[in-house]
Structure 1
Amino acid sequence: MARDMAVALLLMLTAIVGARSGAEEAFDVRKHLSTVTRYGAVKDVANSAYVPSSVPNDCTPIHLNLVARHGTRSPTKKRLRELENLASHLQELIKDAEQKKLAHDIPAWLRGWTSPWKGKVNGGELISKGEDELYDLGIRIRERFPELFSQDYHPDVYTLKATQIPRAAASAVAFGMGLFRGKGTLGPGKHRAFAVTSESRASDIMLRFFESCQNYKDFRKKQEPAVDKLKEPILDEITGAIASRYKLNFTRQDTSALWFLCKQEASLLDITNQACALFNPNEIALLEWTNDLEVFILKGYGKALNYRMGVPLLKDIVQSMEEAIQANEEKHPPGSYEKARLRFAHAETVVPFSCLLGLFLEGSEFEQIQREQPLPLPSKPPHNRNWMGSIVAPFGGNNMLVLYSCPANLSSKYFVQVLHNEHPTPMPGCGGADSCPFEVFKEKIAAPHLKHDYNALCNVKVDQVEQSSGDSKLSALYRWLFPPGIDELGSHGTEL
């Protein structure tokens, strides 16, 4: 009997170890790289608890707005230098460990490691994986909405816009090649030429509104040290763990640099057994969270200005839908009016625009934003959270607003459906649905933002606003966020 019990215990332990091993194998770091995540790793990740609405059979798409981030890119020039400096520093740490007879736990790949981008002079360009992301997206959109893309190409029918940053413009070109594949006579793929237009960086308040918004730039510069302070306890905790694990005298800066290397290796090179393997899944979840915090505070819901400076883009989208409705009502002939407005920009564009739509909020947070109340920071792992950079704005991340004509509907003839990364996504402003009547979209989602003026938001000094508004809700919110003599993040700092 004792032998039977021993066998049963052994089988139980084997099952537990097997379950743990399976859980570790199921963890894919490439899905947990915050905004450095590649589109293909997360494009099929959807909220399983949400059941999307089905488009009625009598509804026809008549116009599409796309706001997309550029595809996967190489590290920037500044980051390339940092990686080369990291390589030199790692060898110094290894040499020190060898002198102290502590080098037996050092992973083999670290010895003599050099940056995969060593000697590269320029950076930040769209790589082949990024080209594929946008090319394939163009193909899928045309297949999904054949009614919209049945016309011959004309720049007034299919408008492609990009920022003047080369990776965004290249993304627009890759997308257009997929969208119009087989529609021309160029080469074996029967491609055709198409136009991609852009505004100068200094005047592009549609797609680079953050660059011309002085109040935002001042806020961000002032806030960045406080964000770094928020990260420190997590970085210190993980630094202590990996220093003990590998007997290397890592610093907080080393941990941050190794996490950056992990993200680049995993996203760009599909290497997950080097820098990423230095961290366990729990540590990666925490490091991902620190990046998500930064995106939330500096680009997202952390401050209303972060997203309200995107009002020129929102206004342009609403206007394009109104023009499409007018053309449909007046029965303009096909090819005589715009069917799609396609834009290619950056995370600093896609994140604020997602916030303007009210995406990724929880509970009553939409009402809090309407009342100009600050939101709590995203929950720390292991707690679940809606706000994840890998979903909100991965490389190639996008929002599509599809305008439908539904002539048989008695309540409204026109509906707007929101697709985030190609999935129907609920909007709190539309009662938690992914589509709603156009007039409701205008009134509940767009209007509260469009009452603000870009120039007033961005170029009227905050202290002037404070002085003139007295005890208004805005000034109360500002004092709550930044009380005199208290760290920039106020009480948020205790949530770690």
Structure 2
Amino acid sequence: MSPWSLTIVLMIFVVDQTSSHHPMHHHRGRPISQKVQHCYANEQNPYLYFASKTAYNAVYNPNSRNIIPDECVPEQLWMLVRHGTRYPLLKKMKGFLELSKLRDEIVRNHEQHNHGELCEEDLENLKNWRMKNVSLSESDHLTKEGFQDLYDIGNRTRARFQNLFSKPFSTKNYKLQYTKHSKTKHSAEAFALGLFTTAFHIPEPKDDDLLPQIYPDCKVAPIPGADDPYQGGKMERTLFKDGELVASVAHNVNKRLGFFNHKLTVDDIEQVYDICRYEKSWNFNKLNPWCAVFTAEELQILEYIGDLSYYYNSGHGYSANLRTGCPLVRDMMETFRDVANQEHKGPNAVFYFGHSTTMYNLFARLGLAKDAERITHDNYFEMLESRKRLKSLLAPFSGNFAAVFLRCNSGTRNRVAFYHNEAPFLFPGCNSYACDWTTIDNKYKSITDPAVCNFDFCTKNGTTTSTTSDASHKENSGANTHASITAIDASDNVQVHSRLAQGDHDLSGNTLSSKRIISNNRSQQNSNHNNENNSTNFDKPRTEPMRRGPLPKEDFNSQTPPPQPQSETSNGMFHPKSIGGPNMLYILPLVIVSIGLFVIFKRSKSRNTNDIRFTRLMTIEFTNTRSEP
């Protein structure tokens, strides 16, 4: 065989070997398509968690059973409710109105340029999309869906605690308070319409009322020597948005929508994410075509951005945030203490209507839903299964927390039961859902002392009103460890939240089902994390193909085969004998093969540089466990 024939054979062998080891060609010994197309329109288990814009129907469980013992009757109800589904702020609403231009570009990419990967059904749904006919004057106002959710919650609350609502409405019998926002006011009115059968009047909030003092004027005065929680949350959010995981989302979305030269920025993609989640909350039972832009894994990554902000700004990320939630806990505890001591002369039920931050502040001070480790911009994978889904599960639109004081005629006389989003849960440190009141009172007696639990922590107009001692927060640092909070229906093999994906967590993070949203275990994640800088995983077989998951690195230009190295010797310009004599006849083919190998390696590396960072995502196997209600 001549040297040149050998060269050709070697080149064919090299290209064949490169192709045969390509993960897009071999998967567990069987060939798979280089371009797997998935239709969101046909998805039976769409991802429904959208951080602060999660619809209440995504977490509400209509099958929660009554856990109040027969020997007990409700004597006092205390409840905090987040406002219902709302329209976005004015700037974002204007941005939504411009999305029709982006929609047209996406359609052109697919139909005229043959770019993009949306299936025909998803593309057709996007073509037919029209922005909801909403006036800009309605920005940040309650939607009709939000009004309906609150009305239904009020109606169910009355049915659940009937004996508390036998009296006609009066401000003496029932207390309803909201912040100085139209969305919380209208939420309170919708709730009251469902709750009361007689006419009612909700007083306008006063400056010295509890909620107006908390939101929005009060900001936490940083503890001396501690980091600023607001800057900390902003920093973590920024670092995550600028990191490789969000870059992977941007890369995949651009490819999926057919943008190659003029690419969408992360801010553009966040705008698409916002219209997806807002419109889903406005019409929960209707498919939203903009959600087809993302995979479930990508939605989890975008969800994490919001979690980072609220973890530091309102939750357990900074101990200073416990101060904001303390007056709420104190109000609940003082109300129940009066009932326990038979000194209560106030209303039968207390209802506060606030915001997601109000909910997080309360959970933080109660010590609920605290992660074992801090969530940061760089531990997404490590916390993926164990972290609490802050925005989505704890405080969706219309999210609520309720505590009911029970008077019992046998056994322990005074007890308390707790509900989250209308589902009862076992409170930390309690042996039953109807928990001994003494256990709760002892748990929070010291931290609700008026000397340390007050509004002196606030800064208004940049001025600190007081430098309250942080003793309560030091005390709480050891008290926030969680006992198991088990959801009531989990023991009955019934999901606590019927619309929650299997594998999600209740307030303490207990798994509600044996299945996980993400099927790979922590050891796989850690292994991928340790090896990602040592190997590009070209020869590593993948797990089952992800369903529209972040695309594997090899697929960026999968329609174009690896380029063949071009030899310039065939045209006579560089004839071997003219530049080195007979010996070059044997040396030059080896040089050409080496150059060919180098070119193949460089092109492959260049083509996939943006995707090498996704090696961890390649091993994620998404298990669809939700069903569209």
Calculate the TM-score normalised by the size of structure 1: 0.73
For residues 207 and 230 of structure 1, do their structure 2 counterparts lie closer, same or farther at Cα, with a shift above 3 Å needed? farther
8 Å CA contact 2:67–2:424 kept in 1: the answer is no
For residues 143 and 291 of structure 1, do their structure 2 counterparts lie closer, same or farther at Cα, with a shift above 3 Å needed? same
Map 1:112-131; keep pairs closer than 5 Å: 115-116=131-132, 120-131=136-147
Query: In the alignment, which residue of structure 2 is the partner of 1:346?
Result: 355
Number of aligned positions between the proteins:
422
RMSD: 4.0
1:63 and 2:76 aligned: yes
In 2, distance between residues paired with 1:473 and 1:322? 24
Per-residue deviation, 1:100: 9.2
8 Å CA contact 1:207–1:345 kept in 2: the answer is no
The letter for the 1-side match of 2:113 is K
Query: In the alignment, which residue of structure 2 is the partner of 1:189?
Result: none
Query: In the alignment, which residue of structure 1 is the partner of 2:43?
Result: 25
The letter for the 2-side match of 1:404 is L
For residues 193 and 206 of structure 1, do their structure 2 counterparts lie closer, same or farther at Cα, with a shift above 3 Å needed? closer
Query: In the alignment, which residue of structure 2 is the partner of 1:445?
Result: 444
Per-residue deviation, 1:309: 1.3
Query: In the alignment, which residue of structure 1 is the partner of 2:55?
Result: 38
Per-residue deviation, 1:315: 1.5
1:247 and 2:258 aligned: yes
Offset from partner CA, 1:276-324 (integer Å, 9 cap, x none): 0111222222222332232222221111222321222221111221222
Per-residue deviation, 1:163: 1.2
Per-residue deviation, 1:433: 5.2
Query: In the alignment, which residue of structure 2 is the partner of 1:209?
Result: 214
8 Å CA contact 2:456–2:467 kept in 1: the answer is no
Per-residue deviation, 1:109: 5.2
For residues 38 and 118 of structure 1, do their structure 2 counterparts lie closer, same or farther at Cα, with a shift above 3 Å needed? closer
Map 1:13-412; keep pairs closer than 5 Å: 25-29=43-47, 31-44=48-61, 54-88=67-101, 97=109, 101-103=113-115, 105=117, 107-108=123-124, 115-116=131-132, 120-181=136-197, 184=198, 192-200=199-207, 203-206=208-211, 209-215=214-220, 219-221=229-231, 223-233=233-243, 234-248=245-259, 249-270=263-284, 271-326=286-341, 329=342, 337-361=346-370, 365=372, 375-376=374-375, 380=381, 383-409=385-411, 412=412
8 Å CA contact 1:414–1:438 kept in 2: the answer is yes
In 1, distance between residues paired with 2:405 and 2:171? 20
Unaligned ranges ≥5, structure 1: 1-12, 14-19, 185-191, 366-373, 478-493
In 2, distance between residues paired with 1:242 and 1:295? 26
Per-residue deviation, 1:353: 0.9
In 1, distance between residues paired with 2:193 and 2:215? 29
In 2, distance between residues paired with 1:207 and 1:118? 29
8 Å CA contact 1:356–1:446 kept in 2: the answer is no
In 2, distance between residues paired with 1:112 and 1:132? 27
8 Å CA contact 1:356–1:449 kept in 2: the answer is no
Per-residue deviation, 1:44: 0.9
In 2, distance between residues paired with 1:104 and 1:235? 20
8 Å CA contact 1:69–1:393 kept in 2: the answer is yes
In 1, distance between residues paired with 2:455 and 2:190? 34
The letter for the 1-side match of 2:93 is L
8 Å CA contact 1:206–1:312 kept in 2: the answer is no
In 2, distance between residues paired with 1:344 and 1:118? 25
The letter for the 2-side match of 1:261 is I
8 Å CA contact 1:65–1:401 kept in 2: the answer is yes
The letter for the 1-side match of 2:275 is L
Query: In the alignment, which residue of structure 2 is the partner of 1:420?
Result: 420
For residues 102 and 216 of structure 1, do their structure 2 counterparts lie closer, same or farther at Cα, with a shift above 3 Å needed? farther
Offset from partner CA, 1:182-205 (integer Å, 9 cap, x none): xx3xxxxxxx133344124xx555
In 1, distance between residues paired with 2:433 and 2:275? 37
Higher helix share: 1
For residues 223 and 286 of structure 1, do their structure 2 counterparts lie closer, same or farther at Cα, with a shift above 3 Å needed? closer
Offset from partner CA, 1:200-220 (integer Å, 9 cap, x none): 4xx555355143333359632
In 2, distance between residues paired with 1:46 and 1:427? 20
For residues 341 and 220 of structure 1, do their structure 2 counterparts lie closer, same or farther at Cα, with a shift above 3 Å needed? same
8 Å CA contact 1:91–1:112 kept in 2: the answer is no
Unaligned ranges ≥5, structure 2: 1-30, 32-37, 223-227, 479-528, 531-615, 617-629
In 1, distance between residues paired with 2:445 and 2:66? 21
SS of the aligned residue for 2:241 comes to helix
Aligned-pair identity in percent equals: 24
For residues 400 and 355 of structure 1, do their structure 2 counterparts lie closer, same or farther at Cα, with a shift above 3 Å needed? same
Calculate the TM-score normalised by the size of structure 2: 0.59
8 Å CA contact 1:39–1:397 kept in 2: the answer is yes
In 2, distance between residues paired with 1:45 and 1:112? 33
SS of the aligned residue for 1:141 comes to helix
For residues 216 and 93 of structure 1, do their structure 2 counterparts lie closer, same or farther at Cα, with a shift above 3 Å needed? farther
SS of the aligned residue for 1:303 comes to coil
